Amino acid sequence: MRDVGLAEDLAQDALLAALERWPESGVPDNPGAWLMATAKHRAIDTFRRTERIERKHEELGHELESRQELAVADMDAALDDDIGDDLLRLVFMSCHPILPREARTALTLRLLGGLTTDEIARAFLVPEPTVAQRIVRAKRTLSERKIPFDVPRGAELAARLSSVLEVIYLVFNEGYAAGDDLVRPALCEDALRLGRILAELAPEEPEVHGLVALMEIQASRLRARTGPSGKAILLLDQDRGRWDQILIRRGLSALERAEKLRGANGPYALQAAIVACHARARTAAETDWRRIASLYDALAAATPSPIVELNRAVAVAMAFGPAEGLKIVDILTLEPSLKGYHLLPAARADLLEKLGRYEEARKEFERAASMTRNARERELLLDRSRAHAGDSQLQ
């Protein structure tokens, strides 16, 4: 198929068919396979209908008939390849190298990850119109250049791996914090499932195992991130008895595989090593913050970004004191891409609080609360701000 717009229409038709039939017939054992088969059959119907119309116009005759049959055969081959998962197959299809990295990632997140343009914009720290334009341009490029919407193979598949990893990572992150819910477990589960399948398909790729390790360990904390009322609980305040030890063991095992493949310095493996430090600590006080700060130094060297630098600042503060971390954070206040990023004033507020500068901390907590779009985080930040409501008179 060479029309991404048609592919999107077919997917929507399949979803509508599911909404009409499943309430009466029940949800099938394999919903993904049912949707894929429905889309495939409708695609075949579309090809055949087009064939009949063109034959009536007598423009292509028998040549058109053979071309349409080849198109259907190509689609069958594309949909029946050995990637092993419908969604993962489609992610590989969408991450075409003809598109710029940001465009193909945005397009895939929009079409297949179920993320809105607003959510994608937050992930990239760019304005929403920028993301919308990237998606429109990506669709236009694929259509104008008649790029086959099929499954890459061999070297071409390997070339798309980094984009696929990025998509999976961003879907997981969006599931970790979005909207009025602190987490969207379904997104986390989808990303983790795709990562595990990918690890089986590419067992010699260390960054695949690094990403799986990162997601496994992060997912182990999902239940502990909220209290009974849904209120957010910070990492250092979480009940570690609620962390899923099975997921932690899986994550540590995946990290070990990445390191054995000489991938310890890859971006995902480094992040996995950071969260592994938390997972190995029986209590918050036992966390090896100097090790974490060192890992962030390596991550900043491998993939420099304002977000990595902000996380490094927090680790430096925990390892060497809040004043040292605040020096880094104050520099980041001049970073344009973090202008609307609520975690920057939140981190600064936390460090000011630890230094006893309570009135400044209160204002920063309020500013962070006004910037976040997550209702649970907003509640937590406002609570911390209110805790210092009377401190201005004492300073």
User: 213 near 274, Cβ under 8 Å?
Assistant: no
User: 211 near 236, Cβ under 8 Å?
Assistant: no
Give the Cα separation of 216 and 222 in Å (integer): 10
More confident residue, 153 or 173: 173
pLDDT for the residue 41: 77
Count of CB atoms situated within 10 Å of the CB of 354: 16
What average pLDDT does range 18-22 have in this prediction?
81
pLDDT for the residue 374: 79
User: 199 near 254, Cβ under 8 Å?
Assistant: yes
Count of CB atoms situated within 10 Å of the CB of 188: 20
User: 176 near 218, Cβ under 8 Å?
Assistant: yes
Mean pLDDT taken over the chain? 84
Count of CB atoms situated within 10 Å of the CB of 349: 27
- Residue-wise DSSP of 24-79: HH---S-HHHHHHHHHHHHHHHHHHHHHHHHHHHTSSHHHHHHHHHHHHHHHHHHH
User: 299 near 271, Cβ under 8 Å?
Assistant: yes
What average pLDDT does range 273-287 have in this prediction?
96
CA distances from 27 to 18, 32, 114, 369 (A): 8, 11, 20, 41
pLDDT at 71 over 50: no
User: 354 near 329, Cβ under 8 Å?
Assistant: no
Give the Cα separation of 128 and 205 in Å (integer): 33
More confident residue, 367 or 63: 367
Of 299, 293, 291, 309, nearest to 271 by C-alpha is 299
* Amino acid in the structure at residue 190: D
According to DSSP, residue 356 is labeled: T
Weakest mean pLDDT among 100-109, 182-191, 349-358: 182-191
Which residue is associated with the tokens 């000489």?
A: 262
According to DSSP, residue 81 is labeled: S
